[in-house]
Amino acid sequence: MVIFQRYTWWVAAMVGLAVLLTAASQVGVLSPFQGVFLTVTSPFERLLSGTFRPVASLLSGAGDTSSLQEENNRLRLQVETLQVQNVTLQQAADRVKDLEEALKLTEGRPDEVRVAANIVHRDASPFTDVVVIDRGTSSGVKVGQVVISAQGTLMGTVTKATPGQAFVRLISDSKSKIASEDLQTKASGVIQGTANRGIAFELAQAEVKVGDNIVTSALTGRFPAGIPIGKVTEVTGTPQDLFRTVKVESLVRLATATTVLVITSFVPQDVGAAP
């Protein structure tokens, strides 16, 4: 075949190298080199991100001024509503605290330890949404730990950690599956990433409606219960359908987030795994 006449030896060598690299990465031989590479490149990556992020924001907003104004007005109203709700909830929280003290109960997660980290870069290859953060094993970050936004919304889990950096699989990654529940109807399901980096709530024969809040469930032992994930934005099918398509919008903008918190005090347990 003419294509391979002059490149046969090179193609063969590269296929051999590919096999070798795959084996080396499987046994972790490349991890130290990876750590060094990430440490060396992260300052340059911050520079590139810092330069192009405002350009991307400008471009995405340029053709969308009227809808941004509408969104701004809507958000102002929402902020006001939430501030009113916040006052009411604060009063309720104080009351709950008083009652807990009276009954000698403790609050949900008083001893939760979090490590703040910056997103350095992102792998957005097909069906993948993984970010690299600038905290690693030397800061107490370990594989399996839960990552949330600065406001407390679930963002993903740590899949790999080097001394200085860690890889975080976002909830919008197609391989991400998170046991979760509808806060209003208590319907259990799985939050899964979609191809276009969105999220969907997979559940069978249960009541769910637009506007419902989805939170994590402690069912698999991999997440603390009750971490907010997002709001239901679209539901197709009826409660009698075996599987319904439920689109969920994350409470945090996953594509533009720059700071995250890693919950280092939570030890994930793989309840479903074989002993």
Partner 1 sequence: MKGALVVFFAGFGVMAQVTVAPLFPLDAAVADLGLLVIVFTALLAGPKATMWTVPLIALFLGFSTSRAPGLLLLAYLPFLPLAYGLGETGMPLNRYLRTLLAALATGLWARGLLGTAAFVQGAQFAPGDLIGAILLPGLVLDALLVTLLYIPCRLAGRTGRSLSLRRTGWVT
Interface contacts to partner 1, rule CB under 8 A: 2-4, 6-7, 10-11, 14-15, 17-23, 25-26, 30, 33-34, 37-38, 41, 44-45, 48-49, 52-53, 55-56, 59, 121-128, 130, 132, 159-160, 167, 169, 173-175, 177, 192-197, 255
Residue 59 CA to residue 9 CA, distance in Å, equals 46
Which C-beta is closer to partner 1: that of 114 or that of 197? 197
Of residues 18 and 79, the one with the C-beta less far from partner 1: 18
> What is the DSSP secondary structure assignment for residue 144, as one 8-state letter?
T
Indicate the residue among 121 and 181 with the shorter CB distance to partner 1. Answer: 121
Shortest distance, CB of residue 157 to partner 1, whole angstroms?
Answer: 12
Residue from 242, 237, 260, 61 nearest 171 by CA: 260
Is the CB of 40 or the CB of 77 nearer to partner 1?
40
User: b vs e for 5-29, b when ≥16 Cβ sit within 10 Å of the residue's Cβ?
Assistant: eeeeeeeeeeeeeeeeeeeeeeeee
Least Cβ distance, residue 233 to partner 1 (angstroms):
18
State in angstroms the smallest separation of the CB of 39 from partner 1. 11
| Token pair listed for 144 | 């399996």
**Considering beta carbons, is residue 224 or 254 the nearer one to partner 1?**
254
* Residue 212 Cβ vs partner 1, minimum distance, rounded to whole Å: 22
DSSP 217: -
Rounded to the nearest whole angstrom, what is the least distance from the CB of residue 23 to partner 1 in the complex? Answer: 8
Structure tokens at 119: 């997103």
Residue whose CB is less far from partner 1, 28 or 211: 28
Q: 31-62 and 65-103 helices cross at what angle (nearest 10)?
A: 120
Smallest gap from Cβ 227 to partner 1, in A, equals 22
| The pair of three-digit structure tokens given for residue 56, joined into one six-digit string | 């991307």
Q: How far is the CB of 117 from partner 1 (least distance, A)?
A: 16
The rounded distance, in Å, linking the Cα atoms of 175 and 127 is 8
Number of Cβ within a 10 Å radius of residue 112: 12
Q: What angle do CA 160, 165, 169 make, to 5 degrees?
A: 45
Q: Quick one: 110 or 126, whose CB is closer to partner 1?
A: 126
Minimum CB distance to partner 1 smaller for 77 or for 274 = 274
Is residue 106 a contact partner of residue 100, using CB atoms and an 8 Å limit?
Answer: yes
Smallest gap from Cβ 40 to partner 1, in A, equals: 9
**What are the distances in angstroms from CA 274 to CA 160, 269, 271?**
22, 12, 8
Residues 6 or more apart in contact with residue 14 via CB below 8 angstroms: none
